[in-house]
Structure 1
Amino acid sequence: MVTMPRSGAVTRDALLTTLLAAAAAAVALAWPGTRPLDAWGLLLLAGAHAPLAVIRRRPALALVVLVLLTLPYHLLQYQHHALIPAEVIALFAYAVFGRRVRAVLMVVGLLLFVCVMMMALRAGGSSVREQIAVIEAVVSVVIAVQVWRVHRARLATITERAERAERTREEEARRRVAEERLRIARDLHDLLAHSITVIGVQAGAAAHLLAGDRPLDRAELAEALGSIAATCRDARTELRGTLQVLRGTDVGAPAVLPGPDAIPGLVSAARSAGLEVTLDADGAAAAPPEIGVAAYRIVQEALTNVVKHAAARRVAVTLAREDAGLVVRVADDGRGPSAAGPEGFGILGMIERARSVGGTLDAGPGEDGGFVVTAVFPPDTSSDTAQDAPPEVPPDGPPGREPVSPR
C-alpha cells in the first residue's frame, strides 16, 4: 500500500526526522557505548534515521533500509539506545501504512533479537542486563504493534457491520414503502376504475334516453339515475373502508374488506351496464380471507375491462374448487384482445393480486373467441406464507398463453 501525503506533511516529516537524528547523535556522543561514536557510526546513525522522512510514501522500503543500517550500527557496539526511538517509530509507522504487517514485523523482530543476542555474547559481564533490556524493548514494541493492529482491525469490522446493518434497515424500509405504495395504487385502481367505468356506462344510457326520439320513459330514466347513485354509494363505502385500513383507524364502522360474498354486487353492476352475466360462486364459500379479497378484486377488474373494451354481450363468472384450490374464471364473448400496445395496468394489477397470495393468473383470448381471465389460487394459503408481489411483473404469462395488457 502506498500512501501519498500532502506536501506539508512531507516537509514536516523531513524536519522531524532531522531533529530526531540530531538528538540521537547528541545522545550517542554524550553517553558513548562500548565503542565511541566515530565518522562511520555517525554516518550509520544518520542513514538509519533518513528513511523515516519517506515512510508514509514507501513504508516497506523505508523499514528495510532502516533495518539494514541498524544491524551494523548495533553489531559495531555503538550507543544502542540512541537508535531505539527511530526503531520504535519505524515499526509503528509500518503498522499504520504498510501491509503484511504480521510477517514483516516478526522478521524484523527476529533480526533485532539475533543482533542483540550477538552483542550480549560479545559484551559479557554486566552488559548482559543492558542487552536483555534492549531485547525486551524490541519484543514489547512488536507485541504492542500487533495488539494495536488487531484492535484497529476489530474496530473497523465492527464499524463495517454497523454500517451494513444500517444500510440493510434503510433498504428494507424503502422496500416496504415501495410495496405499500404498490398496494395502495392497486387498491385505488381496482376500486375507482370499476366504479367510474360503471357510472360512465350508466350515465351514457341515461343520456341516450334523454336524447332519443322515442317518448321519455321516466321510470327507465329514474332506474338509470338510481343505478348511478347506488354505484356512487357503494364506491364511497368501499373507499372509506380502504382508507380506514390504510390509516389504521377504528373511527366509525369497522372496515370490512370485500370478499366472494360481494361478487354478486359486481355482477349486478355489470348487468346494469347492459351485460348478460352468469355467476357460479359455489366454490368460494370456504376461501381464506386474503384469497377472497384477491378473487373479488380480480373479478372486479375483469368485469371492468369487459365493460370498457370487450363490446361483449355475455359474461360468465365462475369460482370453482379444483385440487383443493380456488379457480376464478371470467369469460366474455367480446372481440378479444386488442392489437394495440399496452394502455393500462389492469392485467398487471391482476397478476400482482394473484401472486401476492401465491397464485397465478392467465389472461388471453378464449378458445371460442372473446377474452378469458383465469386465476388459480393454492389451497391453505395464509398471510404468513404469501409471496410478496414484485414492483414490476414481466409481461410473460404461464406457458401456453400470452397475457394481453391492453385489457
Structure 2
Amino acid sequence: MRPVPAPHKPRLGERIMAAVNRDPLTAPHAIRNDALLALATTAHAVVVALVTDEGRRPDVLGWTLLLAAQVPLVWRRRHPMPVLAAVVALVGPYHALDFNHAAPTPAAYVALYTVAATSRPLRTLLTGAAVLGISMAVMLSVDTKQAIELLRISGWVIAVLFFGVDVRCYRQYVAAIVERAERAERTREEEARRRVAEERLRIARDLHDLLAHSITLIGVQTSVAAHVLTADPERLDRAAVAKALDDIAETCRTARGELRTTLEVLREHTPAEARGPLPDLHGLKDLADTARGAGANVELTVRADQVPPAVGAAAYRIVQEALTNAVRHSGRDDVTVRVRVYEGEGALRVDVTDDGTGAGTGTPGFGLVGMRERARSVGGTLDAGPGRAGGYEVTAVLPLGSEGAR
C-alpha cells in the first residue's frame, strides 16, 4: 500500500504573501484577526503611555480616550472611513490635552493604512491631507514645539498612505491575473465542451446517414425478394431472388464496414487518421447504383472538379439522405441528381428531385435536420420541399471558399 504524502504546509513567507494578496473584505476570520490587532495596539499604547515621557501621563480621561481609540479597529475592514473618523475624533482631544503623544500612533497608522488599502488613490490623498491638517491645527493650539515635531514625522504618515495604496494596487494586479487565468480556464472548458458536442453531433449524423440509408435499401431489397417469391411460385425466378439476396448481403457488408469505421473514432487509443478519408463526389455513382438496385430510376449528373474535401463530404451525405428518402417514400419513381459548380457564385449546387411524395409523408425523422446541418457545417444553405411540378425537391448551395474548405 502506497504511503499517503503529507499535506504541504505553507511557509511563513507564503502565509504572509497570501494575507497580502487576499481581499480584506473576503479574508476569513476578519473580525477575530482585527480584534487581536486591536488588543496588540492597546497593549502597545499602555506600555508607551507608562514608559515614555512624550507628554503628560494620561489621567482617567486620557486613559478613556486612549483605550476607546483602539476599539473601532475591530471593524476597520468593513467600515474604513467611519473607523478612521472615530479614531481621529478620540485621538484629537487626547493630543489637545497634551497626554503622551506616541501612545495612540499605531492605532492612527492602522486606520490610515486601512483607508489607503481599500479606497481609491484620490480619496486616500484627500483623507491624508485632512488628517494632517486636523493634527497640525490641534498641535498648534497645544504646543508649537509639538506641532513642529508632528511636521517632522509627517513623512511617516505619507509613507503609511503610500504603502496602503501600493498594497491595494498589488492586490488589484493579482486579482486581474487570477481573473484572466479563470477566464482562460473557463474558455478552455467551454471549448472542450463545444468540441465534444460537435463530435457527438457529427457521429450522430454519420450513424443516421449510414443506418437510415442501409436499412432503407435492405427493406426495399427484401420486399423485392419477397415479391418475387410470392408473385408466381410455379415460375420462380431464382436468378432474381439470388440477385436480391446478394444485394442485401452487399449492403450489409458495406454498412458494417462504414459502421466499424465510425465507431472506431470513439475508442481512445484510435488516432484521428484511423477514421479514413471523407466520402466525396466520386462515391455518388455508387449511391446511384445502389438506389437503382432498390428499384428507383436514378439520373445522375456530376460536373464538379477540385472540390474541397469538407464540401465534397457534405454533398455526398446530402445526396445519400435525399436518395434514401426518395427510395423510402417514392418507391420506383424517377429521381434526378445534379451536382454542379457555379463558377460565378463560387459554390457547389446540389439538386435532388423526384416525382413521388419525397420526405413529406411518413413519420418525421432526423434526415432533413441532418442535411441542413451538413450544409451549415460548410457555410451553405439547404431547402427541401414539394417541387414546382410535383414530387419532392432538395436543393443545397455549398460555398467553395475558405469556410467550405475548412
TM-score, with structure 2 as normaliser:
0.81
User: What is aligned with 1:399?
Assistant: none
Does structure 1 conserve the Cα–Cα contact (< 8 Å) formed by 2:379 and 2:403?
A: no
Q: Is the 8 A contact 1:311 1:335 kept in 2?
A: no
Q: After superposing the two structures, state which structure 1 stretch, 76-85 or 174-183, moved more.
A: 76-85
Partner of 1:224: 244
Report how far residue 151 of structure 1 moved: 0.8
Single out whichever of 217-226 and 105-114 deviates more from structure 2.
105-114
Task: Report the Cα offset of residue 62 of structure 1.
Answer: 1.7
Query: Is this contact kept in 1: 2:296–2:335, CA < 8 A?
Result: yes
Instruction: Quickly say closer, same or farther: Cα 1:108–1:250, change in 2 above 3 A.
Output: closer
Aligned residue in 2 for 1:84: 105
Structure 2 Cα separation of the partners of residues 228 and 293 of structure 1 = 25
- Stretch moving more, 370-379 or 227-236: 227-236
Report what 1:73 is aligned to.
94
Q: Does 1:208 align with 2:245?
A: no
The match for 2:351 among 310, 326, 329 is 329
Cα deviation, residue 117, structure 1: 4.3
The corresponding residue for 1:110 is 129
Q: Which residue is equivalent to 1:355?
A: 376
Residues 114 and 164 in structure 2, CA contact (< 8 A), matched pair in contact too: no
Compared with structure 1, are the counterparts of its residues 380 and 131 closer, same or farther at alpha carbon in structure 2 (3 Å cutoff)?
closer
Residue 392 of structure 1 is matched in structure 2 by none
Change (3 A) 1:80 1:343: same
Give, in whole Å, the separation in 2 of the partners of 1:205 and 1:223. Answer: 10
In 1: Cα distance, 2:78 partner to 2:400 partner = 68
CA distance in structure 1 between the aligned counterparts of 2:212 and 2:361, rounded to whole angstroms: 22
One-letter amino acid of the structure 2 residue matched with residue 377 of structure 1: L
Aligned equivalent of 1:261: 282
Taking only the aligned residue pairs, the percentage that are identical comes to 47
Matched, 1:377 2:393: no
> In structure 2, what is the equivalent of residue 54 of structure 1?
75
Q: CA deviation at 1:351?
A: 0.6
Aligned to 1:235, which of 252, 255, 264?
255
Alignment partner, residue 403 of structure 1: none
Q: Shift of residue 102 of structure 1?
A: 3.0
Q: Which residue is equivalent to 1:153?
A: 172
CA distance change for structure 1 residues 202 and 152 in 2, over 3 Å: closer, same or farther?
A: same
Give 1:18 deviation, angstroms: 5.5
1:131 aligns with 2:154: no
Query: Corresponding residue for 2:328?
Result: 308
Does 213-222 or 355-364 show the bigger shift?
Answer: 213-222
Partner of 2:366: 345
Structure 2: unaligned runs, 5 residues or longer: 1-22
Residue 248 (str. 1) matches residue 271 (str. 2): yes
Query: Residue 16 and residue 321 in structure 1: after superposition, are their counterparts in 2 closer, same or farther (change >3 A)?
Result: closer
Find the counterpart in structure 2 of residue 402 from structure 1: none
User: Compared with structure 1, are the counterparts of its residues 285 and 114 closer, same or farther at alpha carbon in structure 2 (3 Å cutoff)?
Assistant: closer
Output the CA distance in 2 between the equivalents of 1:245 and 1:57: 57
Give distance in 2, aligned partners of 1:36 and 1:236. Answer: 99
**SS of structure 2 residue aligned to 1:367:** coil
Structure 1: runs of 5 or more not aligned:
387-407
Verify the 8 A CA contact 1:284 1:292 in the aligned structure 2. no
Following superposition, the deviation at residue 71 of structure 1 comes to: 2.5
- For 1:280-333, what per-residue CA distance to the aligned partner results, in whole angstroms no more than 9, with x for missing partners? 22x223433222221111111001011122345111111123334221111111
Further displaced range: 182-191 or 285-294: 285-294
1:178 maps to 2:200: no
Q: TM-score, normalized by length of structure 1?
A: 0.81
Residue 375 (structure 1) shift: 0.7
- Partners in 2 of 1:222 and 1:206 — Cα distance? 8
CA contact (8 A) 2:301 2:337 kept: yes
Q: Secondary structure at the match of 1:280?
A: strand
Distance in 2 between residues matched to 1:138 and 1:365, nearest whole Å = 85
- Tell me how far apart the structure 2 counterparts of residues 257 and 138 of structure 1 sit (CA, whole Å): 74
Change in CA separation of 1:16 and 1:229 when aligned onto 2, cut-off 3 Å: closer
Q: Count how many residue pairs are aligned between Structure 1 and Structure 2.
A: 377
Closer, same or farther: CA 232–19 of 1 in aligned 2, 3 Å: closer
Label 1:354 to 1:91 Cα distance change in 2 as closer, same or farther (>3 A): same
Separation in 2 of the partners of 1:110 and 1:211?
Answer: 107
CA RMSD of aligned residues (A): 3.2
